[in-house]
Each structure stands twice: as C-alpha cells, then as structure tokens.
Amino acid sequence: MSQAVYIVSSIRTPVGKAGGVFKNVRPDDLLGFVLKSLLVDNPSVDPSMIDDVIIGCAMPEAEQGLNVARISSLLANYPYSVSGVTVNRFCASGLQSIAYAADRIRLGEAEVMVAGGVESMSMIPMMGHHPAFNIKVFNEDNIGIAYGMGTTAEQVVKKYKIDRDSQDQFAFDSHQKAINAINEGYFKDEIKPYKVISKTYDLKIKNILEKSSLVSQDEGIRFDTSAKQLSNLKAAFHINGSVTAGNSSQMSDGAGAVMLCSEKALKLFDLTPMARFVGYAVSGVDPKIMGIGPVLAIPKVLTQCGLKQHEIGHIELNEAFAAQSLAVIQELGLDPKAVNPLGGAIALGHPLGATGSIRTATLLHHLKRTNTHYGMVTMCVGSGMGAAGIFEAL
Amino acid sequence: MKISHVGILGSGVMGAQIAAVFANANIPTLLFGKEAHVEDNLNNISSFKPKALTHPDQQSWITAASFENDLNQLSSCDFVIEAIIEDVDAKQDLFAKILPYLSTNVILATNTSSLSVDQIGKNLGDFQSQFCGIHFFNPPRYMSLVELISTEKTKPDLLNQLEGFFTSELGKNILYANDEPGFVANRIGVFSIAACIHHADRLALDFDTVDALTGTKLKRPKSATFRTADLVGLDILKHVFDQFDQVLSDDPWHAYFKTPQWLENLLKQHALGEKTKAGIYKKEDGEIRVYQTESQNYNKANYEIEASVKSILKTDISCWITALRSNQHPQSQFLYSVIKDTCLYGAYHLQTIAHSARDIDWALHWGFGWEVGIFELWQANGVQASLALFLQDDADVSIPNWINGVTDFYTDKGAYSPSEDDYTPYSKHAVYDRQLHRPTLIGESKHGQGVTIFENDSVKFFHENDGIAIFSLKTKLHTLNLEVIDSLKQAIAISEQEFKAMIIWQDSTPFCAGANLYEIVAGAKLGMIDHQNLYTKFKKKAWQLLKPKLPNIDNLKPINEVIELLQRVLMSLKYSKIPIVAAVEGMALGGGCEMMLHCDRRVVHAESYIGLVEIGVGLLPAGGGCKEMARRAAKHKDLFPTLAQYFEQIGLAKVSESAQLAVDMGYLDQQDVIVVQRLELLYFAKQQAQIMIDEQYRPEDASQTFKVGGATAKANILAQLTNMRTGDFISEHDDFIARKIADVLCGGEVDANTEVENQYLLDLEKNHFIELLKLEKTQDRIEHMLIKHKPLRN
C-alpha cells in the first residue's frame, strides 16, 4: 500500500544560453539559490523534516561535481541532517530525481523530499572535460554509443522520414509559442529571478569592477527569427542533412527544484498542494535513434497509471531536436496542440540534467492556469532511452 | 634610430593591410580612419583573404584611431605612412591637416602606386626632407617588393634607413625607384600586359590562349596575364592605363595604353575581376569560363597550345628569341612580339625610371613573380644579336643611344647603369651582410658558393669554412627521393666526423614539399611494396605504357626498405652527436615536415606553411611524423586534448598559414626561431648552430620512453570519426586512413599512459603505411596528385 505524493512547490531559475548571462555563475550556486527559494516559499515547513535532496545532473563533474546535491544543500543553509544525492540519467536526470523522491514518499520512508536538477553547459561541456570512450564500443558493434546527439537526430530523420521544412516550422513555432508565453507572463510564477554578481578587473579603471544584474527571463528565445532564416541554416551533422543549429535544442545553464510531501506532511505544515505525482517510466531504445525514446516510455507510463493518451491535456515533450519531437508525435499520434503550448527547448533552452525539473515547473503552473487535469513531462535520453512522468493538477 | 611606433593614415584595403604588416612585426601601430568606422576597421583586419595577419593575436599591436579625434596621438609616431585614396589633392589636404601634430623627427611617407610623390609632398615645408614615397604591392603581407621613392628634398640617408628597416624587420625586398609614373615594377609590368593585349588583338588570340602562353611556360606565374589582371582588379588596371595614357603622351608606345573596348564593356557590366567573381574569367557551375569579346558571353576555356611553340619554350631561354621569331605560328609571333616590345620598352625607359638594369629585372621578379627578367632574357639571347633582329622587324623603333655600345647588361662587375655608363655593383648596405647567399640575376656572379663536400643530381653538400656543413636539395620542389635519403645519411655521417654542426637549407623556396610520390606509386604498381621479387620487366613495361606521363623508373627499392631507411635517417638527424638545424621557408609538407621535426632546432621564415598532409594521398606520415607528434603530446600532463588536436591536424591534412600558427599546431616549439627576412635564414641558422655548439650540445637519450594515450584515447578519436563518417563529412577511405593515424598516435590499444619507445611507434607507422599503399584507392590518390596536382577524394 503506497501513499500519495503531493508537490507543493515547483520553481526554477531563468535559463541562460551557454556562454550567456550565467556563463560565470557556478551551477552549485544556481541550484543552491533554487533550494533556498523552496524554503522561502514554504516557511511553514521545518527544514529538518526534509528527508533527502535528490538532484539530477548530466555531467556531474567540476563545478557541478563532488555530489552537487549535498554541496548546494549546504550552500542553501539546509540543516546538516538533510542529506543529498546526485543522480544521472542524462537529459531525464531532473525528472528522474523527482520520481526517486516520490518513490521514497510512496514507500512511506519519507514525508518531505526535495528533488531537482542543475546543469551549467557554459562550464561543463557535453561529454564533460575528459571524455574517455571504451574501445569495445567500436570493436563490438556498440557504435551507437559513440553517436553524437546530432548524428542520432539525422538517423531519426532518415528512419521516420521527417522533412526539413517540418523541422524548421516546428522550431519556428517553438519560438512563437515561447514569445506568446512571455508576453502573457506565463513563466512569472515558476521563475525565481537570479541576481548575477560579476567581479572582474577593469583595464580602464585599473581596479576590480563589481557589477550586478537581475536575470528574470529565459535567454534563448529569438524574438526576430523567421521560418526563412531557419531554412537558411546549414545542416550541422550530415553533409546533406536537415538537422541544424536552429531546429535543435540550445545549450543552456539553469536549475529547477520541487518540494514533495506526503498527505501527513501536508497536514502537519498546513500546505496546499499544486499537483499530485502520478507515475513515471523509463525505457531503452537503440542508441543510434535515441530521440525516439519517448515512444516506448509514454505508453509504458500510461499503462502503469491506467490512463489513456487522450486524457493527458498537456505534454511537455523536451525538444532535443525538432526531428525527434516530430517523430515521437507522429509515431504515437500525440495531439500537437497538447505538446509544448509554451514552447520548448529549441526556444527555451535545454540545460541537460536540469530540464526535467524545469519543465515540470512549467507544466504544473500551466495545468493550474488552464484547469487541465493531467500533464506529462517526457524526453529522450542520450545513449538510447526515453522517460515520461505524469502529474495530476489539484 | 629604431622605429618603435607607426601611424597609418587611411584604413581602406591598403591602409589596413599595411598596418597588419607592422603588427606582424610586433610594432605598435595606430590605424587612422573615419570616426564612424574606427571599430569596424579594426575588426576587418582579421577578415582579409588571403589573411593579412600572421596570427590572430598580432591584431593587438594595432590601435584604431580616428582622423576626427585622435590626431594628437600622431606625436608618438616616429614613422607615419599615408595610405588614403589615390588622389593628390586629398593626400595633400590630409598632410596639411596632420602637420601640427607630428613629432619633429618623424619619417613621413605616402603610399602610392601611381601618383607623383613630389607633388604630394610639395607643401610639407620643413618636413620635406623627412618625406618619401613608398609603394607596397597588394597584398602587402605576401608581396615582398617595396619601392622607395625619394624627392629632390628627401635627405640622403632617409631611404637608406628605411631600406635597412624594411629589409630586416619587415622582410621586404627594397628597390629605389625614380618619381616616374608607375615607378619601376608597374611601369614595365603593366606595359607587358598592354603589349599582350595589343598583340593578342592583332593576332586574334583568346584570353585563355594568351594565359596559357604567358604563364609557367614563359617562366612567369600561373596567373599569367589576364588572370593576374582579374586578381589585381580590372577597374584598377583601367585606372593605371588611363593614367599612363594621360601622362605618358611622349612615350613611343603611348598607343598601347588605350583601354580596349572589351575592357570598357566588362567594366560596364561591373565585372571587375576576382573581387566581383567575374572579370575576364568567371566560375560557373564549378567550371572556369572565359570572356568572349565579340559575343560578350563567357564560354568554356578551349585553347590549344601549338606543339612547336611548346617545344621552343621547353628549350633553354637563350634560344627563345631566335626560335620564336622564326616560327610563323601566330602564338609564336605573339610571344616574340611581346618579348621584343617589353625588352625595348625597358631599355628605352631604363635611364628615366631606374638606376640599373637590375632594378627592372628584380622589380619583375619580386613584383610580378617572373622567374626571368627582361634584361636577363635579352642577354641570354645575345644583346646585340637580339637587338639586330628587333630592328630588322621594326626599323623605326625607339632605342636608347647607350644600347649600341653595350654587349652585356650583367657582368661580374655588376649591372649596367646608363646614367653611370658603367656596371654598378650591389648595394653595400649593412643589412645585406646577413643575406649570406643573396640571390643574383642570370649573368651576375653568384654571392657565396661554399666548398662542396659532395654533390649529385639530388643534393649539394657543402661548407663555408666555419665548421658547419650545409645540406641542400636540388630536386623539384625539394622533394625527398631515394637519392636524397641516401645522401642525407651520408651527410650526417660525414658531419659527425668532420663538422661541428649541420644545417638543412635550400637556396630557394620551398624547404621541402614532401616525399617523391612518383617513386612511391611506381614501387607500389610494380609490386615492390614489401618484396623485390614481384618486380618484373613485364610489369614495368605494362605500367610505363599505361602511364606515359610519368618519368622513367630505375633503381627502385622495395617500399618497406625505403621507409625503414627514411626512419633510420630521420632518427639519426635527431640523435646524431652534432646539432642539426633546419632552415625552413615556404612549404614543409609531409616528409619535409617530418625532416624538419627531427632536427634539433628550426629556424623558420615567418611565411612557412607546415603540415603532415599525407592523408591527401591516401597515406599516413611514416617517417616518424606520427611518432614525433605522439611524443610531443606526451609532454602534456593530460595528453589527450593535445593528441586530439594533432590527430585533427593530420587527419584533415591541415597546413599552418604562417610560422606563428605552426607553433600553435605543435610543429614548432618555443626554442625555434622565426625569421622575418627569408634571405637571412642561413645567417640565423648558423647562429643557432653556433649557440648549440657553444652550449656543448648533447643529443637526447634515444632510448627514453614516453607515455601514449592507448585504447581510451583511440576510442575517443574513433568516436569523432564515427560521427564524421556517419554524417558523410569524410569518405570511407578517409575514415580508414584516419583510423590508422589514430592507431599510431595513440600507440595502438594498449592501456592508457603506457610507456613506449620510439621504435614501437615507428613500426606501427611503417606497417600501416604499407597496408595503405597496397590499396587501390590510395594508389589512385597518389596518381591523381601526380597528374592533376590536387588531392582526390575517394
């Protein structure tokens, strides 16, 4: 007999472009800020009642290494007694952390959990600072592991016959939907503006120059892009390919986190839940076509939860590439209108391990806003996986 | 006086590129432009093609300044060059504006290709004695010729000072020119173009035919006449024609400077040459097309060079004039007429425009890339004999009086100077003391010969009584053939016994374009890759019948033995008892790069193009090139990033675009010396050799091991290759070769950071080389390179 899991807060930082507004902001600071904000938003919660902090990160090394979950918790002044663990399922890390946290509560072994995700692609490149492939990958025909994400997207294009125009249109729509969402102020509730303080030596004044600026909006959206501009970009991963920098997700920096509670904790701290965690599933596919992962994960989680696809009114499908997003929509017959109504990673950015938590925030706030019952966060995952989680708005 | 701060006035194409020349020499330079464009001007410097900067970092020597606000900064400049538009009034106005800001000792110059320097500087007052004209050729980084022009007021030692500075610090070749239209080089060079236009029209020859006749066959650049015109810009050519037409009304050849109608038509269509992607030539559908004067369309090039003309041009130049004259084919008559006119034109104007015959000939060598100047050619054919022929054809032609008494333009005493009516020796300027083998023209006595130790068809090994032996290649493009490798082995052995150091130096560019591919592919085709016995007379005959274009083959050895020999010899360069210095300029490619890498030190001309490019011919570096780069990467604590960079360089056949960039690529190290003036290479090589002798040079320990990246490093590279191949960015064969390169660079699939020795990697190189050479696709690549002179992607 498992107990219900409620989400009382789901927040995030704005998402910066790699090399952009957060290029000198450490990911453990970004995460620490989000963790702290959770406590600020929920003053009735006794922090020492948090059982564990589970954080997803896709390249957990250097500035986001050494168990960033624990480090950021301490930086956020969580009590020593609150432990922390970092998990890695690449792009699903920030959703996986929520699922693991929910499971602790479902089992009845925790009453309050914090889960989230963080990634600075400005500081830690894709594949990390020190890639080290296993030679067996090449000698034993596991070559898909060596495929770059863009290469897998071209494989999806080939296999699922996705044309260039559809990809560019999808990318264009992503930006337009994101622009609309910004204009409507849809992201205001989920984003916690981050104050960037820079300290540099100024050659003109011959002294240290301290500057601060408040970042409150996602940086990646191109307000002036056009379908024409997108169609002029060169294919990046195949000489005659169709996957371009414009119809792929952006490299980004950001963090997001949720606070999860049992029913007991809700009563104890007098909390109003925004959603209920319903279920989560992952599945593996051929690494060569990793982008297709959600095609297996989505039906799997629906079956688990006893729900039908049409019952999910809002799907946050991570736009790793327009090509794989279109292939997933096509293969499962998803309702395009239900997918990413506020834009996706092509416009909003994709800070790998943080994305799951960030898009959960977007989903939960928008479910409430639109009175939609069920929502889903789903994504494809490097080396060939798909993940999907279902939430119910309350 | 040391020139320490330079100001360039005008940030257009010439001004910005001239600023880059100074920046490349680490000289702080102020680049003045209009306030509105100051920042753009600075950014544009990095976008010139071909590149103006030898390294992106050099841009930091340039500071942008504005005419409107920053003229007061001119007071810090000790050398100011005006390089704005070619307009006397504009130039005069600018000088008037800047005079109040100049420091009293400043050297002032105007950069112009066509205007009167005297006119430009006439209002400079007291500054006139510190003023002169400079004519940089475009693009200034790559063109070595700089003409200096004094006025009557210029103080005598000013040009002398600039000659030293430009020669040694900027690496330029200096000529003094009189203040005459076009100075020396353009006056004669542009006349030659005019003469080609005139006679092509008279004899109804097409542009492409003229270019085929006046290019390399005539010992001139491949761009010949009209392709050169496209490169220069047809608008600029017309501008010069108009100017000559205007100011040279007394010139007996004045009529030649009339702009032809077809040129007017092209300009009307805004076909200005290379810069507008259409001129006399145009690239359409990947194919070069040539302009047709009558239809005003572009057609496919369709020339044929008459066999008899071709064979004349293959004979020694001393036969050209008589033979071309007596052949009645229009192509032959064309060449004869152009040569005759240009010779006579140069002779007629020599006294007015220059000091001696040498000035004109060097101007053509340095400014137009001719291998033979007009007076060299004329003298080789007999000065009086040729003159008699010229006069037979054209009794009324204008000739200077002095020519009747002259039997030679060049003698042991020097070059003929009509104003002295004597032979004038080379300048004794101290800057030339460093040019140990200063080049001379045909007919002049050579500077510095040395004492020959041994010499054969492929090499010359000599010394100059200073204990340092010099090894020089004589092969085409200084390629490495079997004889070179054998000779090098012998030279090292002799040097170790009898000399204190050895230098590998060539008396002309390049350093070395690589291994002799002909020997390699011939060996492969004859089955002599790893066995002698597969070679049969039948095979030899069959192959020669098939490939008549390739030269004769004899004395071939099985390739595996050649590779082993090459590796042994290059290793002994590195581990011999004496210091060995490579003096590098121009290309050091493939085997040439490997030879350089194995020397103890490199003295390198700033314009050196270095790379391991073997993949272009389907092979990998097997003369220790991979081994050397793996060793160099091993010096880094985390070797993989460096190894990945080296792999990419070899895998993509990247060539450095300057010596400085070769440092970034790991082909040169911090101890190596970059030299700005190529003629000073041997001087600096000897200096470095002497330093190493004085430091009691000892070779490295040849048995010293080094770590390799092993299986993980190789897997990382294979991951990159997998994506490139899957994305069709590289061919299957490229992928195959690149995997072999990765295998050697990483030391195979051993544990990461395994210690290995030299021979292990050398054997890997050899084995992969042999395996690749057996593949048809590799053999096709080599043959394609030999026949078409460009790489085949298969």
* pLDDT grade for B532, boundaries at 50, 70 and 90: low
Q: Does B60 touch chain A (CB under 8 A)?
A: no
Provide the b/e sequence for B680-711 (b: ≥16 CB within 10 Å): bbbbbbbebbbbbbeeebeeeeeeeebbbbbb
Strands A252-261 and A207-215: unpaired
Closest to A20 in 3D by CA, of A224, A212, A251: A251
The residue of chain B with its CA nearest to that of A153 is B727
Joined together, the tokens standing for residue B7 give 């100001």
Predicted confidence at residue A1, as pLDDT, reads 55
* Alpha carbons A98 and A261: distance in angstroms, whole number: 11
**The pLDDT value given to residue B285:** 82
Tokens 């060569």: give the residue: A288
Across the interface, whether the CB atoms of B727 and A146 are under 8 A apart is answered no
List the single range of B272-276, B369-373, B766-770 with lowest mean pLDDT: B272-276
Rounded to whole angstroms, the Cα distance separating A15 from A346 reads 12
- Phi first, then psi: give them for residue B445, nearest 5 degrees: -80, 140
Peptide bond into B579 cis (omega under 30): no
Catalytic residue among A57, A261, A305, A380: A380
B750/A contact by beta carbon, under 8 A: no
B749 contact residues in A (CB cutoff 8 A): 135
Nearest CA in chain B to A148: B723
| Displacement of CA A164 from its chain's centroid (Å) | 26
Task: Respond yes or no: is residue A366 known to be catalytic.
Answer: no
What is the distance between the alpha carbons of residues A342 and B246, in angstroms, rounded to a whole number?
71
Q: pLDDT above 90 covers what percent of chain A?
A: 97
- Interval A323-351: pLDDT, tens: 999 999 999 999 999 999 999 999 999 99
Banded pLDDT at B552 (limits 50, 70, 90): low
Is pLDDT of B551 > 60?
no
Return the pLDDT at B44.
87
| Model confidence, pTM | 0.91
- How far is the C-alpha of B170 from the C-alpha of B164, rounded, in Å? 9
Q: What is the pLDDT confidence band of residue B528, given thresholds at 50, 70 and 90?
A: confident
Q: Closest Cα partner for A250 from A12, A16, A13, A11?
A: A16
| Residue B576 forms contact with A (CB below 8 Å) | no
Q: Is B727 on the interface with A (CB under 8 A)?
A: yes
Q: Which residues of B touch A238 (CB under 8 A)?
A: 726-729
Shortest distance, CA A132 to any CA of chain B (angstroms): 6
A57 counts as catalytic: no
Judged by a CB distance cut-off of 8 A, whether residue B722 touches chain A is yes
Of all residues in chain A, the one with the smallest CA distance to B746 is A135
Please report the pLDDT score of residue B1 as a whole number: 66
Contact A380, A325 (CB under 8 A): no
How far are the Cα atoms of A79, B496, B566, B570, B772 from residue B487, in angstroms, in the given order? Answer: 78, 14, 11, 12, 27
DSSP B168-197: IIS-PEEEEE-SSTTTTHHHHHHHHHHHHH
Contact B716 A133 (CB under 8 A): yes
Q: Which of A152, A127, A251 is nearest to B641 (CA)?
A: A127
**Contact yes or no for A152/A323 (Cβ under 8 A):** no
Question: Interior CA angle at A80 toward A78 and A85, to 5°?
Answer: 80
> What does the pLDDT read at residue B790?
87
**Which residue from B minimizes the CA distance to A129?**
B641
Q: How far apart are CA A180 and CA A177, in angstroms?
A: 5
Tell me, what DSSP letter sits at residue A372? -
3-class secondary-structure state, position B435: coil
B652 at A interface, C-beta within 8 A: no
Which residues in chain B touch residue A133, judged by CB atoms under 8 angstroms apart?
A: 712, 715-716, 718-719
Residues of A in contact with B723 (CB under 8 A): 146-148, 150-151, 237
Q: Which residues of B480-496 are buried (b: 16+ CB within 10 A; e: fewer)?
A: bbbbbbbbbbbbbebbe
Choosing among A61, A130, A135, A147, which should be mutated to test the B contact, i.e. which has the most B CBs within 10 A? A135
Give chain B's mean pLDDT. Answer: 93
Alpha-carbon distances of B103 from B7, B11, B27, B72, B78, rounded to whole Å: 12, 22, 18, 10, 7
CA dist., res. B509 & res. B478, Å (int): 8
Report how far residue A92's alpha carbon sits from residue A96's, in angstroms, rounded to the nearest whole number.
Answer: 6
* Contact B636/A at CB under 8 A: no
Q: Smallest Cβ distance to B715: which of A134, A147, A238?
A: A134
Select from B715, B727, B729 the Cβ nearest to the Cβ of A135: B715
* CA-wise closest residue to B339 among B322, B363, B357: B322
Chain A residues with CB-CB distance to B712 below 8 A: 132-135
Check: CB of residue A35 under 8 Å from CB of residue A257.
yes
Contact B723 A239 (CB under 8 A): no
Backbone angles phi and psi of B448, in degrees to 5? 70, 115
Q: Omega of the bond prior to B156 within 30 degrees of 0, cis?
A: no
Q: Point out the catalytic residue in the list A91, A175, A314, A366.
A: A91
- Contact assignment for B727 to A239 by CB distance below 8 Å: yes
Among partner residues B638, B715, B728, which is closest to A133 by beta-carbon distance? Answer: B715
Inform me whether the C-beta atom of residue B749 falls under 8 Å from chain A C-beta atoms.
Answer: yes
d(CA B529, nearest CA chain A) in Å: 29
| Chain B, nearest residue to A242 by Cα | B727
Residues B169-204: tens digit of each pLDDT = 999 999 999 999 999 999 999 999 999 999 999 999
Return the percentage of chain B with pLDDT > 90, whole number. Answer: 84
Distance separating alpha carbons of residues B280 and B207, to the nearest angstrom? 8
Reported as a pLDDT band with limits 50, 70 and 90, residue B506 is very high
- B471 contact partners, CB below 8 Å, separation of at least 6: B459, B461, B487, B488, B491, B502, B503, B504, B505
Q: How far apart are the C-alpha atoms of A123 and A250, rounded to whole Å?
A: 15
For A146, nearest residue in chain B (alpha carbons): B719
Interface probe, candidates B63, B647, B726, B749, chain A, greatest A C-beta count within 10 A: B726
**A238: nearest CA in chain B?**
B727
Indicate the DSSP class of residue A213.
Answer: E
Model pLDDT for residues B224-246, shown as the tens digit of each residue: 999 999 988 999 899 999 999 99
Are residues B722 and A147, on separate chains, in Cβ contact within 8 Å?
yes
Helix axes B517-525, B537-546, angle to 10 degrees: 120
Q: Do residues B298 and B292 lie in contact, with contact meaning Cβ atoms separated by under 8 Å?
A: yes
Instruction: Point out the residue among A146, A148, A239 whose CB comes nearest to the CB of B718.
Output: A146
C-alpha torsion B772→B773→B774→B777, nearest 10: 80
Write down the residue that tokens 């091993």 correspond to: B634
User: HSE of B771 in the Cβ direction (CA atoms, 13 Å)?
Assistant: 13
Cis peptide before B50 (omega within 30 of 0): yes
Which pLDDT belongs to residue B786? 85
pLDDT tier at B555 (50, 70, 90 boundaries)?
low
Instruction: Tell me how many residue pairs between chain A and chain B have CB atoms under 8 A apart.
Output: 56
Kindly report the nearest CA distance between residue A154 and chain B, in angstroms: 8
Query: What pLDDT shows up at residue B449?
Result: 75
Closest CA to A361 of A103, A220, A181: A181
Nearest residue in chain B measured CA to CA from A147: B723
**Dihedral (CA of B17, B22, B24, B26) sign:** negative
A295-304, B32-41, B376-385: which range is least confident on average?
B32-41
All structural domains of chain B, each given as residue ranges with its CATH number in brackets, are 6-177 (3.40.50.720), 214-423 (1.10.1040), 641-654+705-794 (no CATH)
The tokens 């002295």 sit on which residue? B420
What's residue A280's pLDDT? 98
CA neighbor of B172 nearest in space, from B409, B367, B399, B376? B367
Å from A128 to nearest chain B CA?
Answer: 12
| Regions of chain A with pLDDT less than 50 | none
Dihedral of the alpha carbons of B576, B582, B588, B590, in degrees to the nearest 10: 0
Active-site residue (options: A175, A261, A314, A350): A350
Helices and strands (H and E) in chain B: how many: 29, 23
Helix (H, G, I), strand (E, B) or coil at B328: coil
Q: Do B715 and A138 touch (CB under 8 A)?
A: yes
Q: What is the ipTM of this complex?
A: 0.92
Contact check, Cβ <8 Å, A239/B640 = no
CB count in 10 Å sphere of residue B100? 10
| pLDDT recorded at residue B604 | 98
Q: Is B726 on the interface with A (CB under 8 A)?
A: yes
Tell me the C-alpha distance between B173 and B144, whole Å: 5
The amino acid that residue B99 corresponds to is L
- Choice between B302 and B227, residue whose per-residue pLDDT is larger: B227
The strands making up B107-111's β-sheet, listed across from edge to edge, are: B62-66, B29-33, B6-9, B79-82, B107-111, B131-136, B145-149, B173-177
Token pair in block for residue B695: 């430091």
Residue B728, chain A, CB below 8 Å: the answer is yes
Measured distance CA(B143)–CA(B122) in Å, rounded: 29
pLDDT at B668 over 60: yes
Query: Quick check: B257 and B247 in contact, CB under 8 A?
Result: no
Q: Give the mean pLDDT of B598-620.
A: 97
Q: How far apart are CA B132 and CA B29, in angstroms?
A: 19
Q: Nearest chain B residue to A135 by CA: give it.
A: B715
Interface test with B, best of A138, A156, A203, A244 (most B CBs within 10 A): A138
DSSP A298-329: HHHHHHHHT--GGGEEEEEE--SBHHHHHHHH
Distance separating alpha carbons of residues A252 and A19, to the nearest angstrom: 8
Query: For residue B535, is pLDDT > 60?
Result: no
Band (pLDDT 50/70/90 cuts) for residue B558 is confident
pLDDT beyond 60 at B263 = yes
List the B468-473 sheet strands across, edge first. B451-455, B459-463, B468-473, B501-504, B580-589, B601-611, B673-675
Given this model, what pLDDT does residue B160 score?
Answer: 95
Average pLDDT on B266-277 reads 91
- Do A133 and B712 lie within an 8 Å CB cutoff? yes
Q: Inspect the interface and report whether the beta carbons of B638 and A238 lie closer than 8 Å.
A: no
Model confidence at B546, pLDDT cuts 50, 70, 90, reads low
Determine the pLDDT at residue B379.
Answer: 97
Judged by CB atoms closer than 8 Å, whether chains meet at A133 and B749 is answered as no
* Dihedral class, residue B654 (left if φ above 0, else alpha if ψ from -120 to 50, else beta): beta
pLDDT tens digits, B459-471: 999 999 999 999 9
Alpha helix (H) ranges present in B165-300?
Answer: 185-202, 207-214, 226-232, 234-247, 261-268
Put simply, the answer to whether A240 touches B715 (Cβ < 8 Å) is: no
Interface test with A, best of B63, B640, B642, B723 (most A CBs within 10 A): B723
The pair phi, psi for residue B153, each rounded to 5°, is -90, -15
Angle at A382 between CA A380 and CA A388, to 5 degrees: 30
Note the pLDDT of residue B781: 93
> What does the CA dihedral A145, A148, A154, A157 come to, rounded to 10 degrees?
60
- Name the pairing type of β-strands B459-463 and B468-473: antiparallel
A380 is catalytic: yes
B487, two tokens: 């000779």
Q: Identify the pLDDT of residue A240.
A: 95
Q: Shortest Cα distance from B642 to chain A (angstroms)?
A: 12
The percentage of chain B sitting over the pLDDT mark of 70, rounded to a whole number, equals 97
Query: pLDDT by residue (tens digit) across A65-77?
Result: 999 999 999 999 9
